[in-house]
Amino acid sequence: MQIGQAAKASGVTAKMIRHYEAIGLVPSAGRQPSNYRDYDDADVHRLRFIRRSRDLGFPMDRIRDLLKLWSDRHRSSSEVKAIALAHVAEMETRIAHMREMADVLHALADACEGNGRPECPIIRGLEGSDAGGPRMPAYLPPGSVNH
C-alpha cells in the first residue's frame, strides 16, 4: 500500500511516517517502480504500536527501546515492565509539579480581589515580589525528568 493508505490504516499521518523513517524508528519503506513508498501489514502494525506508545506519552527513545523488545521474541517481560514503570514514575512527578503550580495559581487568584484597581497579587506573585504569598514552584517541562 502507498503511504496515504498506510497512514489511514495506522492512524499515523504521512508526515509522521516520513519522520519516523528519517529518524530510524521504522525502516525505510520499499519502493514501487513508480518510486512511491510501499508498505505492508507488518509496517502498519509497527506504526500502530508507535502511535499507541505516543498516545501513552512515551518519548521517542523509550519507543525505540520498546520496539526492540517487541521484535525480540526472547525478551524478558521484566525489561518491558521496567520501562513502563519508569515512564509512570516520570508522569506522576510531572503531575505532582503541575498540581503544585495549579495550587499556587489558585492561591494567587484567591488573593486577588478582581476589581478595577491596579493592585494585583497575581502580578506580584509572577514578578516574584510577593514574599509573603504562596511559594512559586519550579516549572518542570515535559521530558526533563532523568530517564
Does the pTM surpass 0.75? The reply is no
Q: Return d(Cα 10, Cα 45) in angstroms, integer.
A: 7
* pLDDT(147) > 70: no
List, in sequence order, every residue forming a beta bridge with 37; answer none if it has no partner: 31
Q: What is the pLDDT of residue 146?
A: 41
CATH of domain 3-58: 1.10.1660.10
* pLDDT(127) > 50: yes
Task: Characterize 89-120 residue by residue with b for buried, 16 or more Cβ atoms within 10 angstroms of its Cβ, and e for exposed.
Answer: ebeeebeebeebeeebbebbeebeeeeeeeeb
pLDDT in tens, 83-111: 999 999 999 999 999 999 999 999 999 99
